[in-house]
Amino acid sequence: MPDKVFIFDTTLRDGEQSPGCSMNLPEKIEMARQLDRLGVDILEAGFPIASHGDFEAVKAIAAEIRRPMIAALARANELDINRAWEALREAARPRIHTFLATSDIHLQYKLHKTREEILKMISWAVGHAKSRCQDVEFSPEDAGRTDRGYLVECCQAAVEAGATVLNLPDTVGFCLESDYEQMFRDVQTRVRGMDRVALSTHTHDDLGMAVANTLAGLRGGARQVECTINGIGERAGNAALEEVAMILRVRRDALPLYTDIRSEEIYASSLLLTRLTGMNVQRNKAIVGRNAFAHEAGIHQDGVIKNAITYEIITPQTVGMPSNSIVLGKHSGRHALAKRYEDLGYQLTKPELERAYALFTQLADRKKNIYDEDLLAIVNEDFQHIPELYALKLFQSVSSNDGRSTATLELEKDGATFHDSATSEGPCDAAFRAIDRITGMPGTISDFSVHTVGPGTDGVAEVRIRARFDGREFAGKCTSHSVVEAAARSYLQAANKAAYDSKRTGEAVSVGRVSVHKSETVDRLFPGGY
Ligand SMILES: [Zn+2]
């Protein structure tokens, strides 16, 4: 009988706290709904003490998403645990996830505590969490670099205080598979009372080993896997959920394990996350990259046409990836459009469908063939949840080959209209500077990419931007026939997010003497996150 592996998704916690991946409340709820459809067992919704926004997101997700367990992260102290419980209490199946570093490196340089002090803190924190919530997960942060004998003592303390799950993180992505597997075997055999406790993996990809180490942990006895969609996360990221799930599905012959992930929801989950964060997936990314199922070499194409099994171990349909065939044209109606969106994983409401249809017909007037990518661009661009503080009313751009470009803009805010123009070396930069002049929030570009949407020379340009405002990074994405206009709109989107975010996080949560406004600040206070 194969064993079930529980999927603990931390896209909204470890993923979301990494640079460039922050999401606002409606975006987090939308992602949580998709993770529910995908079939994750445990959904880590956030780190409630980190910011007011994180607290509200966990609370809202706990109230709405009822099937998966909802977890919230807390450091091993009273304030954090109480705040996590406050956010979780409406959940159908809540879990408090508390953590404390156990490696000598962290004890000496970060926590300035002795091993004995840490053991006491673990017992107290897990016991306190247990007095609030039946289900308590404990993570000895940096377990991968913790002295093995001491790690066993820490785990013992957590189990005796009532932990139901022990998660052994390779926080810094340092472990080799053999080390990681042996750590699970040691904890399983040397800690007393493990028959009532589940073991969990948490791996990072600093050496490209996250998924391989996850499998090693499973071989060592873990039955819970912590992972994220598209492998987003601190630094090089976490183990990618889609890769772990598909390995366990495709290689059932070699590993007697299974998950309850609905693989046909994988691609929609990946796309949604890309849309919400603006963080592109590399083309050759396993399972969800645009080229993951593209066969270019003639000999491969020939084989696949004869029988896909020659070169394909997974069909695109298994992961819900739409085929790149022409789907709709000028004469397609609302019904066909709604059906196609359904196939792509979007349940549009009536007003949303009307809006999508209007944009679709506009596009069909200019472009003969409408591909899935075009349809996705329509919903992705136009269905953003960012409140439009500044709306673009007029845009004009003049560029010349003598190194001077001018952009003139009209933005509307609260019914008032603002005009300004700026000159710069490039037309995009001129547009950004004109926006800065109106909003009064100067930004710097940290990433800028242009793609064409769909094949053909009549394709539209998709611009993705990541811009920093006041030390924080926000994403924007837009499509247009004009690259410069798409860039200006993307930048404005990022600026709107920044303006919204600074309004939203105005009320800071006080953590001891330290005032924490953003999870980014938490990362700085606790380097490495966990
Ligand atoms: Zn982590």
DSSP 431-499: HHHHHHHHHS--EEEEEEEEEEESSSTTPEEEEEEEEEETTEEEEEEEEESSHHHHHHHHHHHHHHHHH
Taking the C-alpha atoms of residue 85 and residue 95, their distance in angstroms, rounded to an integer, is: 9
- The Cα angle at residue 164 between residues 218 and 127, in degrees rounded to 5: 140
Can you state the percent helix, strand and coil of the chain, rounding each to 5?
A: 45, 20, 35
Question: Helix crossing, 266-277 with 372-382: angle to 10°?
Answer: 40
CA of 259 to the centre of ligand 1 (A): 21
The residue assigned the tokens 């359904």 is 342
The CA 85 to ligand 1 mean position distance, Å, reads 21
Are 276 and 30 contacting, i.e. CB atoms less than 8 angstroms apart?
Answer: yes
Distance 180 CA to ligand 1 centre (A): 15
How far apart are the CA of 415 and the centre of ligand 1, in A? Answer: 44
Taking the centre of ligand 1 as the mean of its atom positions, its distance from the CA of residue 204, in whole angstroms, is 6
Report whether 399 contacts 411 (CB < 8 A).
Answer: no
Ligand 1: distance of its center to the CA of 528 in Å? 8
Residue type, 97: H
If you measure from the C-alpha of residue 264 to the centroid of ligand 1, how many angstroms do you get, rounded to a whole number? 26
Centre of ligand 1 to C-alpha 203, Å, is 7
- The candidate with the shortest Cα–Cα distance to 270, out of 376, 385, 170, is 376
233 CA distance to ligand 1 middle (Å)? 7
Report CA(451)–ligand 1 centroid distance (Å).
31
161 alpha carbon – ligand 1 mean position (Å): 24
Rounded to a whole number of angstroms, the CA Rg of the chain reads: 24
Cα 200 to averaged position of ligand 1 atoms, centre (Å): 12
Query: Residue 477: which region, alpha, beta or left (left: phi > 0; alpha: psi -120 to 50)?
Result: beta
CA-to-CA dists, residue 515 to 45, 50, 114, 136, 506, angstroms: 22, 10, 26, 27, 12
CA of residue 166 to ligand 1 center, whole Å: 14
Cα(494) to centroid(ligand 1), Å: 26
For residue 236, give the DSSP letter. T
* 505 Cα–ligand 1 center, Å: 24
Furthest C-alpha separation in the chain: 75
Amino acid at 73: L
pLDDT for res 277? 87
Q: Spell out the per-residue pLDDT of the chain, length 530, in tens.
A: 899 999 999 999 999 988 778 888 999 999 999 999 999 999 999 999 999 999 999 999 999 999 999 999 999 999 999 999 999 999 999 999 999 999 999 999 999 999 999 999 999 999 999 999 999 999 999 999 999 999 999 999 999 999 999 999 999 999 999 999 999 999 999 999 999 999 999 999 999 999 999 999 999 999 999 999 999 999 999 999 999 999 999 999 999 999 999 999 999 999 899 888 878 898 899 999 878 877 666 676 677 677 777 777 888 889 988 765 556 777 888 888 888 887 776 778 898 899 889 888 888 887 777 777 778 778 766 665 566 789 999 999 998 888 889 999 999 999 999 999 999 989 999 999 999 999 999 999 988 888 877 666 667 788 888 888 887 778 888 888 889 999 999 999 889 888 877 765 553 333 332 333 333 333 333 333 45
- Ligand 1 centroid to Cα of residue 475, in Å, is 22
Cα 156 to middle of ligand 1, angstroms: 22
State the CB neighbour count (10 A cutoff) for residue 259: 21
Contact status, residue 51 vs residue 516, Cβ threshold 8 Å? yes
Q: Which of 69, 72, 83 is nearest to 16 (CA)?
A: 72
Ligand 1 centroid vs 211 CA: distance in angstroms?
A: 13
User: How far out from the chain centre does Cα 266 lie?
Assistant: 13
Residue type (1 letter), 410: E
Q: Residue 285: name the closest of 341, 237, 318 by CA.
A: 237
413 CA from centroid of ligand 1 (Å): 40
Span from the CA of 66 to the centroid of ligand 1 (angstroms): 25
Q: How far is the CA of 529 from the centre of ligand 1 (A)?
A: 7
Angle, nearest 10°, between helix axes 266-277 and 25-38?
170
The rounded Å distance from CA 206 to ligand 1 centre is 11
Question: What residues flank ion ligand 1 with Cβ within 5 A?
Answer: 14
Token duo for residue 427: 């037309």
Give residue 102's pLDDT: 98
| Token pair of 386 as six digits | 């960012």
Output the CA 453–ligand 1 centroid distance in Å.
Answer: 34
Give the model's pLDDT for residue 457.
66
Predicted pLDDT at 438: 95
Ligand 1 centroid–CA 72 distance in Å is: 14
**Angle in degrees, CA 249, 30, 45, rounded to 5:** 75
Measure 432 CA to ligand 1 centroid, in angstroms. Answer: 35
Q: How far apart are CA 369 and CA 414, in angstroms?
A: 38
B/e letters for 451-482, b = 16+ CB within 10 Å, e = fewer, are eebbeeeebbbbbbbbbbbeebbbbbbbbbee
Q: Which two tokens mark 301?
A: 């194409």
Compute the distance from residue 140 Cα to the ligand 1 centre, in Å: 11
Cα 384 to Cα 376: distance, rounded to the nearest angstrom: 12
Q: How far is the CA of 137 from the centre of ligand 1 (A)?
A: 14
Distance in angstroms between the alpha carbons of the first and the last residue of the chain = 34
Cα 13 to ligand 1 centre (Å): 9
pTM: 0.75
Residue 484 CA to residue 407 CA, distance in Å, equals 10
- List, in sequence order, every beta strand (DSSP E) within 102-206: 136-141, 165-170, 198-203
Q: How far is the CA of 191 from the centre of ligand 1 (A)?
A: 24
Q: Is 112 exposed, middle or buried (0-12, 13-18, 19+ CB in 10 A)?
A: exposed
Cα of 234 from ligand 1 centre, angstroms: 6
